[in-house]
Structure 1
Amino acid sequence: LYDTMTKRVEGSDETGLIQVLSYLNPVVIIDESHNFEADLRVDMLKAINPCFILDLTATPRKKSNIISFVDAMKLKRANMVKLPVIVYNHRSTSDVITSAINLQRSLEQKAIALEADGGRYIRPIVLFQAQPKTADDNITFDKIKKQLTDIGIPEEQIKIKTASKDEIKNTDLLSRDCPVRYIITVNALKEGWDCPFAYILASLANKSSRVDVEQILGRVLRLPYTTKHRDDLLNLSYVFTSSDDFRATIENIIDSLNRAGFSKKDYRVAEAVPAEAQPQPGSTLGLFDNPEEQTEQSDAPTTGKTDDLPEIDSEAIKEAISNPMPRTTSELETFARQESENYDKQMEVAAKHDDGIPNDLKDMVDQYPIKEFFREEAAKIVLPIFVKRVNQGSIFEEEGAYVQLEKSMLNEGFDLDKQDHNVDFTRADVEAVRVDLAKVGNDEYRPERFNLSTKQLAVIKEHFISLPPEAKKEQLAAAIAKNIRFDEIAEPQIARYIKDAIKDFDSEQIADLYTYEPQTTAAIRNKIGELLGKHQKEVFKKWLDTGQIKCEPRYKLPETMTLRTISKGLSKGLYTEEGDMNDWEYKVINAVAALENVLFWHRNPERGVGFGISGYINHYPDFIVRLKSGMTVLLETKGDQLDNSDSRNKVELGTTWANKAGEQYRYFMVFEKQQMEGAITVGELLERLKEM
């Protein structure tokens, strides 16, 4: 098919790999996609000609279309991360080293005690982040390593990991036999380096230097064994600095958390303050305080010299670490435990009000709460849904219990092989077409339909005509089956169904179906959909009759709604703003809201967001109306041109729901003039509502 290719990759041979990939129009998945922004990489991506790109990243670009987002609270609840981050600013680099060594030893003692009591093995590790002196990093790092050994740390416990020197290569840092407790680095520990035992990030930067922890802060966030440990201090991570410009340090840490997928809500500050301003015992700096208010701003430059090692008082450190539990470490641990408890309480509150939107994105979306004067009445509404009895228990479900009915449950007993194989392949449009994206602006494209060229059709027919009759049927059935997806039916079964449906077709008929494959595929997909829908409807009715399905009150209205577009000028909406609607829907609900006995109404969202009547179809009525009498009415509004089988299924299912839900519930489908069985006009609706 090389001759039919309409898009050529510049500089590529027509049989080159990049040209073949481009022709296949593949799905592309990019891991760590924030690193995929270089011009050469973008050019390569364009040459591949992807039909869809899925980025996986903790730091999506501003123009990204975010389809899934996991925030810190969810990660914390899943025991995947050590949060919050405890940040402590010391007076000197020596204090940073002292605190890091003492806290490491304290955490290790706690880990040993927990393991003796049935816990898992943990050996906390400190990451010492230094500044490089020259292009030859080893000079600086080797000297720091020597200073640490001079303090009394065994050499085998200290390793260097830089771009030019890697002493932890091929080392299993999680092994019980590994002695490593201290790793000296700058920014060499980036994506891909995984050590859940890393607990403490200690910056050895000069006091006048801005602390840059962006690249490696994420390396201390992973929780060992994805298990919450009984001692809270082993569920947190720690950052120690000695910066004159602590505000800049905190801002940098916030940026680092953001780039790692977290936020300013996920750290706590415990700063060492000047002696004359020492807090009273037991007091701590406030949570979420503005760092600008916590710290006097220094005139020191944000970047300092890197040609000298940071000043380290080895003798003072030796003396400090000889104390088994120095006061500073004790105070830090007390602070950390309190902040861990506070963070857990925040998680509990967030879990109770989980609306599906990650905390870090809530400020980026428009949310509208229930109006205060409707809140009490709205809380009384618990809409019934269809539930299915569990006939055979499992580890997930108890026998005899009722679970929410899913449409897929109604597939029970469906066998495509035994269904009607008579498919109507009559085409309303005899042209074969392709649909592609056409450029309409600098970065703007829209789907457009293109007629296949005579040459392309000729190539397809020439190839197909050369096959023997049975091979033609096999190939056609297999090709179409790949483009038809029903979660309930396996692809090979669909292929068998297609082959049986065309078994009596001659070669010319088969070639015709192949030439116009999109129409052929649509005909078969529609036929199978009709057969499956008919079966699901029959099973639903049977289960209703036998008591397998019933209605139970389970759905509560959410406290807030997230809306992209809103409707204005309507009274009695339940939320401070209600969702957008078309002119006909606006006209109907405006008339309903004008009725004296209507308390409030709500524009019910679709697609799994709002209240759905789930049966043999998934039906989301347009409006939920609450009357002053306590009755709840579901409304589905239809333009007169929408009188079709879908509408008939909706009105039938909605009426069934109302009958099973109870006396306090009603369902109406409303047309302007034209009627269908079970539906009414807007005039009739208003008359009935007045009498309720």
Structure 2
Amino acid sequence: MELKKYQRKVLSAVREYAHLTVELGTGGAAYDRLLAQDGLRPGKDDIRPYADDVNGAPRVCVKVPTGGGKTYIAANALRTLTDELRVDTKAVVWLVPRKEILRQTLRQLRNPAHPLRMAIDRDFSHRVEILDKEDGLMGRGLNASSVEGQLTLFVLSYDSFKNKDGRRAYAENSSLVALTNYQKAQGEAVEVAGADDTALITALAGMHPIVVVDESHHAKSSLSLEMLRNLNPRFVLELTATPSAKSNVIARVSAQELKAEEMVKLPVIVYRRDGKTEVVQDAIMLRRRLEQIAEINEQKTGHYIRPIVLLQAERKDADNAETFRKLKAKLVDAGIPEEHIAIRTGNVDELGNVDLMSRGCPIRYVITVEALSEGWDCPFAYVLATVANKSSRTSVEQLVGRVLRQPYAQHAKSGSLNTSYVLTSSADFNETIDQVVAGLNGAGFSKRDVLASIESDDPNKTSGPVPVQGILDELAHHAENNDTEVFEGADDFDDLTIALPDENEKLPDNGSTESVPDSIDDMIRASETAEAVCAQSAKDNTDTLLGGTTGMGDDMNTFRIRDTVADTVRSLRIPRYRLEQQAGLFSDLDDTEGELFDRDSLLEHFMLAKIGTEDIRLDAMHVADAKQIDISNDSELKVRNLSDAQRRGMKELFARDSNEGRRRSAKLDLPNLMSPQVQKLYGAHGLKSFINRVVDQMSDDELEGYLDNASAYAAIISQAIKDKADAFRVREFDVERRRGDIIITPEYAFPSSVYLPNPLTTLDRTLYEAEDGGMNELELQMADSLANCEGVIWWHRVVERRKGEFYINGFINHYPDFLAMTRSGRLFVIETKGEQLKNDDSRDKLRLGNQWASDAGPNYQYFMVFGNSPMDIDGAYSFATFKSDFLNHL
């Protein structure tokens, strides 16, 4: 099987990273160097710094969406890694999350005709041994000569070394004595905590294996991490569609690349129907039409395709009966042959070892509930139809990924066979869409790969699929023009009346559907159009996406401003403060706009040497408070701690020094305990003068306690300086504003897109296609209220200190939590506060927010919203009051 372009890109990144680990000596340095080749800086650019948590072993991740061939990439990476890492003992531990995938992976790797095994045999000259846990415990294929002369590949589950059964891998094992003794003689033996020196885990650790972690998002627990460490890996390669926050991602594949390489059926089109009968009826008719198209496609390509419908039922009805069995009986009663239907749930498996892709397999309908086992990846699945009650919370999230794989990894001649379909009768269509999007997110895709459609009562209005961002207007129109009562059918499917399509009706030889104007063929024609657009977009983007070394510069986690609200922000400029620039002798008279105001400019006349020190206290209570602050508060004024060597040396000096000598030592040492940022901000001379005056006024007892509290003394002094500087900023800001040196002008424009490592896609009326999901309970309540407020056009969650984010640039830099545009054209700027945050910081933010709103004009309003009891200051409200007095009146 030939490697796809994006697969070669990923393998190239893996090869380059492995090479760099040898050249540079550490995984972290190699990670930084590799990403720098794409112009990225770990720790900045929204790229997390390298996480070194497996005893120094290089540990990296490749992100490949479902259907992208992650395991094939891993199989092809093994020779690359053994060569670049200069491995003598070629040992690999291949970890998988579940028993179903364990059995599947073993079956594939032990099959000489399977592409995974063929790739490995090619690269290792057929000198390959595939072992499972029982093989390892029995010592089969494990001796000194075999492990040196071949690739020894263990396929294990994450639970192989956990629970009671997993402890067998830590027990004494006479079958492995020869191998572990050989490892000891070669100096390769490794001690594993809690394991016998002849145990399987010890033998594996002594082989210093390369570890492949398939579906690595399942291996996030501390036990999983401990297991990795115990394996003593030489290198860890993770594969997943959804990396965890701590994954060191070195290569990323986009949905566009998969579509362009004909690996997946995109877009996914979601259709709303009025009830269960319509869902089942249309699913049957759509599947039949797709099969007719597939027969014509086979005549042209030779590829056999038998489209399958996944029917999602509820587990039990009100009488505690299994609804999936009732649904199967209903289908059989309607005339569908029983052998065409299979049930696959947690307790019932009528699929067994059936080869769904075989021409002799009759199955065309699979009834399930919430999830099929991982590893179920039949590319013949085309339609997901949910027939749960309209009020049911049964989720389609776990199933949508099962209809994505493209048969034969090759586009069919008809676009309708390159598309996935979801049919639902959910009362909350938007919720269903959110579930579909969440399911696609979990498979490595995004909201952009989903289209949605509802039937319109307006004969002049096209009811074809549209991007999900535009479906809300469709739903509103549908609701306004449909007065029929929603009927909630019974769980026993008594209301389900199925009329089968005419089995004798055939399409023309060219596959055209133009002569058949029913709703199903409308769906087919619409899907062909949508697929053509999707395919062209993927083609247009692929060259750019493949241009980088790693693909890390793509937009998989980048979200654009929604099309439906783009016009409201295109010309919007939110006021911010600027320094008024007067025209001078050498300045351009037409260039007097001034620069964006920076609060540190207020300290231009702040003379620390002239600031009083009389209010600084170094008594026991203040010292204890300072120690607590020093430990727990990540303030901008960081204090350096003394090393043990410095402390011992100072104690010796202090023991034989006079009080004056001790004061001199403190004056010399305290500036060095301050951060360089403090010295730069306030000036080394002014800082030294201030500290000298503080030390001069220290009592003998305070001086005596200095050595044991040096960092605490520095923290107290730093905080005192900060408090005085902050008070100076407030006064100076007010003076410069009144004097006209600081002005407010329309300045801030929203960036067209944002990067979100933690996107929230389930709320309505967002400014971007997603908003940041890292919110506490009160913030989520606010977001939900804004999302459900008819008077709000859009809302945006502000992420503090993100590059390009809005903040009020006054005497403090204030990043409010939310911005919300109302239909009346006013911008609400909202800061939320928990009850414990009624402090000086909140007062400063409220004071600045009120001042900014007053300066900005009547179209801007500032609110500080508390959970219950607000501060007694104008502009502060409880959440309930804000909602009732403001949101409910928009």
TM-score for the superposition, normalised by structure 1: 0.47
TM-score for the superposition, normalised by structure 2: 0.37
